[in-house]
Amino acid sequence: MPINRLLQVGKHTPAEVELLNKAFNFALRSIGLVDRNDPLCELVARKVIEAGAAGINDPKEIADLAVARIGLR
């Protein structure tokens, strides 16, 4: 999964990793992206991590913000 590759070990708590993984999955589903090998997945993962750094605790809200930042909504 692209997001786990991008998360720095020790920088995020297990709860944060779980939150970002949920947000990543929400984001992929919202744009209909199924192929995890698609290069767009890494862009989505990066935007999810950026959005998560803003202190948002709702995975759906993080996903929506990430997708909006990419310009797909």
Per-residue pLDDT of the chain (73 residues), as tens digits, is 578 888 876 788 889 999 999 999 999 999 999 888 888 999 999 999 999 999 899 999 999 999 999 987 6
Dihedral of alpha carbons 67, 53, 59, 37, sign: positive
- Domains of the chain, by residue range, sit at 2-70
The pLDDT, as a whole number, for residue 32 is 93
Distance CA 14, CA 49 (A): 14
The pLDDT, as a whole number, for residue 6 is 86
What does pTM read for this prediction?
A: 0.89
